[in-house]
Amino acid sequence: MGYPEMRPRRLRTTPAMRRLVAETDVPPRSLVLPVFVLEGAAEPVPIPSMPGVVQHTLDSLRKAAVEAAEAGVGGLMLFAVPQAKDAVGSGATDPDGILNVAIREVVAEVGDASVVMADLCLDEFTDHGHCGVLTPDGRVDNDATLVRYADMAVAQAEAGVQVVGPSGMMDGQIGAIRAALDRAGYTDVSALAYSAKYASAFFGPFRDAVQSSLEGDRSTYQQDPANATESMREVALDVAEGADMVLVKPALGYLDVIRRVRDAVDVPVAAYNVSGEYSMVEAAAAQGWIDRERAILEVLTSIRRAGADIVLTYWAVEAARRLR
Ligand code: PBG
């Protein structure tokens, strides 16, 4: 017999053969599009550090939501930038606050065609830019923040949200939100817990997108990038507190965490392909340094291969159209 005896290349000979044996795919239904809406905007405002992404008006947001649903995108994650910010993030719990208004309008527009989710966090609404309320000496007050999150969850549920996305990394946030939703009668509203969220430099462009006024960082509540085992603890706590789905964020530097979480829990696992990951690819592609379309598909495929059932990505609509 000739050498080599084994020839793995046989299964790579034609596009049809490669398609037949592919282990991973990226179905449009698994993609979630994060969207931004700016209160009072007369027209969509481009975000300079995220080429191709805008802060929507309510009008353009509704259109973008319909477009995404028509492309087969599985869900939308809503973020809002209010005109006025204060120490406790009052806009977040105001039924007429921009995020709650946006939820109401998007739900009315897309109905059941796509799942409507909203960010549940105070950083877009606070003048100091932290994800919670502060103690008199300026530290993030965990338990006082839980009270705000509980009220915010109920306000979003009243607006018609189907999934709340608590992203503030406060201890006990899932339990507090679940209890508040159930008490208010919203037993069907789900929680997508941002369980393993790292204090990451890759959120940089997002902070432009929401005009965050944060000085300093979030290291006293978001996780140290050095830790993976700690994520297992965070995820276990969230599942025990009633999380319907869990999320790892960012995605690309944390593929090992996605895999460990996928192997450890029996709820759907999401991963957030964050702003900095998006902008790196867009910037390199704009320079002609990488093939944009191939890079996007490779990024999304890798996150799925690591074990994510659901991928939040700013490329959701474009990718869904190409993958359909
Ligand atoms: C917090 C939140 C952040 C992102 C999503 N939700 C920013 C942060 O924690 O600083 C980042 C998303 C991205 O970078 O694309 N509300």
CATH of the domain at 150: 3.20.20.70
Residue 305, pLDDT > 90, answer: yes
Residue 1, pLDDT > 80, answer: no
pLDDT at 315: 98
Residue 220, domain extent? 25-323
Binned at pLDDT 50, 70 and 90, residue 193 comes out as very high
Half-sphere exposure of 166 (CA within 13 A, CB side): 33
In order of 12, 15, 21, the CA distances from 8 in angstroms are 8, 15, 12
When pLDDT is averaged across residues 66-73 and rounded to a whole number, the result is: 98
Q: How many CB atoms lie within 10 A of CB 151?
A: 15
Assess if residue 14 is contained within a domain. no
Q: Is the preceding omega at residue 250 within 30 degrees of 0, hence cis?
A: yes
Choose one of 53, 78, 121, 194 to mutate for the ligand 1 pocket test, by most ligand atoms within 8 angstroms of C-beta. Answer: 121
Assess if residue 3 is contained within a domain. no
Stronger pLDDT, 211 or 193, i.e. the higher one: 193
Closest CA relative to residue 193, chosen from 156, 153, 166, 155: 166
Residue 208, pLDDT > 90, answer: no
Length of the chain: 324
The percent of residues above 90 in pLDDT, for the chain, comes to: 96
When pLDDT is averaged across residues 97-112 and rounded to a whole number, the result is: 97
Binned at pLDDT 50, 70 and 90, residue 324 comes out as confident
Assess if residue 15 is contained within a domain. no
- 126: Cβ below 6 Å to ligand 1? no
Q: Is the separation of the CB atoms in 270 and 247 below 8 Å? A: yes
Choose one of 173, 206, 217, 280 to mutate for the ligand 1 pocket test, by most ligand atoms within 8 angstroms of C-beta. Answer: 206
In order of 90, 141, 287, the CA distances from 134 in angstroms are 14, 5, 43
Binned at pLDDT 50, 70 and 90, residue 215 comes out as confident
Closest CA relative to residue 153, chosen from 92, 102, 196: 92
Distance CA 225, CA 231 (A): 10
When pLDDT is averaged across residues 95-102 and rounded to a whole number, the result is: 98
Assess if residue 20 is contained within a domain. no
Q: Residue 272's beta-bridge partner residues?
A: 312
pTM for this structure? Answer: 0.97
When pLDDT is averaged across residues 45-55 and rounded to a whole number, the result is: 97
Relative to the CA of 124, which ligand 1 atom is closest? 16
pLDDT at 216: 84
Assess if residue 319 is contained within a domain. yes
Q: Is the separation of the CB atoms in 247 and 193 below 8 Å? A: yes
Assess if residue 1 is contained within a domain. no
Enumerate the known binding-site residues for 5-aminolevulinate: 207, 218, 275, 314
Binned at pLDDT 50, 70 and 90, residue 61 comes out as very high
Number of domains in the chain: 1
Burial of 229 (0-12, 13-18, 19+ CB in 10 A): exposed
Distance CA 170, CA 274 (A): 20
**pLDDT tens-digit profile of 129-172?**
999 999 999 999 999 999 999 999 999 999 999 999 999 999 99
Would you give the end-to-end CA distance of the chain in angstroms?
44
Q: State the ipTM, two decimals.
A: 0.95
pLDDT at 38: 98
Residues with Cβ within 8 Å of 58's Cβ and at least 6 positions away in sequence, in order, are 37, 101, 102, 105
Assess if residue 12 is contained within a domain. no
Compute the Cα dihedral for 129, 122, 176, 203 and give only its sign. Answer: negative
pLDDT at 36: 98
When pLDDT is averaged across residues 267-274 and rounded to a whole number, the result is: 98
C-alpha Rg value of the chain to the nearest Å: 20
**pLDDT tens-digit profile of 232-244?**
999 999 999 999 9
Assess if residue 186 is contained within a domain. yes
Distance CA 7, CA 179 (A): 57
